[in-house]
Amino acid sequence: MELLKSRDVLEKVVLANGLQDAQGAWSSFERLITPWQSKEDRIAHAEKRLAKKIQTTVTTKTNVIEVAYSSPDPQLAFGVLKTLGDYYSAKHVAVHRPSGSYELFAQEAQKYRDELKDAEAKLRNFGTQNGGAAAPEEQRTNLAVQVGTSVGLLHLAEQSLAADEERIRSDKEQMKMIPERSVTTRSAAVSDKAIGDMNATLLAATVKRTQLAMKYAPDYPLVKEADQEIAEAKAAIARAEETKYVSEATDRDPTFELLREDIARTQADLAGQRASVIATKRSIESIQKQMGALDQFSISHDDLLREAKAAESNYLLYLSKREQERTADALDATRIANVAIAVPPAIPVLPVFSWSMLVLIALGTSLIGSIGTAYAVDYLDSSFHVPEQVVDTLGIPVVIAVSKKAA
């Protein structure tokens, strides 16, 4: 309702309908007594008169404003109400929809679109610069699985290493108690050749004594010497018969060889297990370093992703607002807003009062005017009309009364 009577709206209505140059009686009288008024003064006075003549009321429990304007000229009344409705709608749109919002949202949408393109380009370049890694979280998960697998293999290798070392120690302890070689064949026999040689010696000593006994007495030294040789030969033969010669054949002990081969095989496995432990530890350290690098890579990658998502969110937000403003501007251009003219003004065909009503009003007005005029004339007339007025007013008797006659 305040917008309906705002100065700029009333000024536009006045200018559109030429109310500043109205030819009414009051306007002519006003121009007559104030000939020095400028055009701006006449417009300002016309605005004041228009503001007083416009009647606005709000229908109870509704958001409908009823506007009324009366004028002797039906065309003027129609023009005033129509232009007032048009300028009010434009004023309402201008007040509730500030200008430049579409351009602002369009600029912001373009700004965040450029930021989104930059963020996406950084993401692509970041992946290219880091070996084409596009999913650091997945790579880190895969590396964590590899680390877990490698740690399990390391534990298995260490357990195998400890088992092999214990096996070698046990084999060495057993080898100490087992001979390196063992007897495979053994044979025992008397030395026939030695006995034969000794019998030949005995035979020669006997022949020799027999020959000496034929020449010499038994106590002769040579005979005694022959007897001594015979006794020694017999004693040697007796010892030879009692002595047996043992023949043995030896070979490598199979248990010892099995233990030795087991030690050799276990030592070879032990070397492989040690190399596997060292290689597994290096692999774990390498993977852990890669995971550390991926952590930094993931942080930078997440930052870029957040920037891209924020730019995308802002871009979609301002793009939506831009489209809303564009639609609103299109609707405002056709005057489709939350304010509409419910009942447009029309040129009145019938006067406010009918002819019969006007006749009755005229008769009543003339009757009341006549009675009032007669009463006023009688009230203002100081002459006496009848003798009783003289008696009542002056308190003296009237002897004779002469009526007033016109000359």
- Residue, of 5 and 97, whose pLDDT is higher: 5
What pLDDT sits at residue 24?
A: 52
Residue 59: what pLDDT?
A: 76
Contact 76, 70 (CB under 8 A): no
Degrees, nearest 5: CA angle 191-196-200: 150
pLDDT bucket at 305, cuts 50 / 70 / 90: confident
Per-residue confidence band for 357, with pLDDT thresholds at 50, 70 and 90: confident
Give the pLDDT score at 25. 45
Which of 133-142, 149-158, 167-176, 195-204 shows the lowest mean pLDDT across its residues?
A: 133-142
State percent of the chain over pLDDT 70. 74
- The whole-number pLDDT of residue 243 equals 65
List residues bridging with 251 in a β-sheet: 182
Q: Which residue has the higher pLDDT, 208 or 341?
A: 208
Of 349 and 288, more confident: 288
Q: How far, in whole angstroms, is CA 139 from its chain's centroid?
A: 20
- Predicted confidence at residue 336, as pLDDT, reads 47
Q: For residue 337, what are the contacts with CB-CB under 8 A and spacing of at least 6?
A: 89, 92, 93, 96, 97, 331
pLDDT score, position 32:
57
What's the angle, vertex CA 118, arms to CA 113 and CA 122, rounded to 5?
A: 145
Mean confidence (pLDDT) of the chain: 76
Average pLDDT for 89-114: 74
Measured in Å, how far apart are the chain's first and last C-alpha atoms? 68
Q: What is the maximal distance between C-alpha atoms in the chain?
A: 263
pLDDT at 351 over 70: no
Residue 371: pLDDT band with limits 50, 70, 90? very high
pLDDT at 325 over 50: yes
pLDDT at 131: 55
Residue 150 to residue 170: CA distance in whole angstroms: 30
Q: Is pLDDT above 60 for 369?
A: yes
28 pLDDT band (50/70/90 cuts)? low
**Mean pLDDT in residue range 358-371:** 88
Contact 352, 70 (CB under 8 A): yes
More confident residue, 274 or 100: 274
In the chain, % of residues over pLDDT 90? 2
Mean pLDDT for 239-247 is 65
What is the average pLDDT across 280-304? 77
- Tell me the residue type at 208: K
Residue 87 has pLDDT above 60, yes or no: yes
Confidence of residue 186 (pLDDT cuts 50, 70, 90): low
- Say what the pLDDT of residue 190 is: 52
- Top pLDDT among 33 and 390 is at 390
Question: Which distant-in-sequence residues (6+ apart) come within 8 Å of 323 by Cβ?
Answer: none
Residue 152, pLDDT above cutoff 80: yes
Return the structure tokens found at 274: 């040690």
- Please enumerate in sequence order all residues whose Cβ is within 8 A of that of 58, keeping only pairs 6 or more positions apart, or say none: 1, 64, 65, 66
Whether the full predicted model's pTM is greater than 0.85, yes or no, is no
The pLDDT value given to residue 338: 59
